[in-house]
Amino acid sequence: MSSHERARISSARRVVVKVGSSSITGANADQIGPLIETLAKLHDRGAEVVLVSSGAVPSGMRHLGLEDRPADLATQQAAASVGQNVLAATYQKTLDQHGISAGQVLLTEGDLLNEPHRSNTRRAVNRLLDLRILPIVNENDTVATYGLRFGDNDRLAAMLSVLIRADLLVLLSDVDALYTKPPHLPGAERIDDIGFDQELVGMEFGGSNGPGVGTGGANTKVKAARLAASAGTAVLVTAAGLAGPALLGEHVGTWFEPAPQAPGRALL
């Protein structure tokens, strides 16, 4: 992808940004401010912005006196219930500095797969955007069950991007881009661009990097990006700390070219 094409990112009309738990909680909690400042700049120039944010469970763990992510579903649900409230309050406090109001949207997989929930979700998010509210979306971990879960918010963000016909999906994590193999391994090479029909032969995309608070990894991002790109939404995968440059169209991260055959869905 040329630098000229990436520069067009800065004028995308509807943008979904997903950030992972490890990028905004614990030692990285101070990244919320810069992230919101970046999203506020998008909002101020007239873009419609949706933030898909993980972090409810780790945000609630401290209040439950837990050091490690709970293994049982009931305690995960309790942590999510407490943490979602903490997370939403933190985001709104930061957004207040920019004169922006947030709307909380908690979803289960069925809300994006099954009618009439699917249509109701689309209508609700579209109306929030019409009203210049910034929707903050997360999986409804308090009521979701193992049989009906997204599994990770990368997939949620991709499915939501398709549902609301977003021009651009940005998947943020702790890694600056995707690599041909886990970046800590010898011979790993950074991937700049992935064509909409490109075969990813010989590349190794792993899961979560370890026992931290997050549940995703490079593999989930590739699958999510492919899902969104196949429906005509352009996708950029990069680090949370590079959100500002990424949304200005600078050459960072890994770009997934959107499928051209989706009518009216090409980037911008």
Tell whether 3 is in a known binding site.
no
Q: Give, for 145, the enclosing helix (H) or strand (E).
A: none
Place of tokens 């700390």: 241
Tell whether 230 is in a known binding site.
no
Tell whether 54 is in a known binding site.
yes
Q: What CA–CA distance (Å, rounded) separates 37 from 21?
A: 18
Q: What CA–CA distance (Å, rounded) separates 92 from 109?
A: 25
Tell whether 223 is in a known binding site.
no
Q: What CA–CA distance (Å, rounded) separates 128 from 124?
A: 6
Q: Phi and psi (nearest 5°) for 175?
A: -110, 140
Q: Which two tokens stand for residue 143?
A: 């009521």
Beta bridge partners of 103: 135
Going by the DSSP 8-state scheme, the letter that residue 202 receives in this structure is T
Strand ranges of the sheet holding 168-173, from the earlier edge strand across to the other edge? 102-107, 134-139, 48-53, 14-19, 168-173, 234-239, 254-256, 193-194
Question: Quick count: other Cβ atoms within 10 Å of Cβ 47?
Answer: 19
Tell whether 173 is in a known binding site.
yes
Residue positions in the annotated binding site?
18, 54, 141, 153, 173-174
Residue positions in the annotated binding site for ATP?
18, 173-174
Residue positions in the annotated binding site for substrate?
54, 141, 153
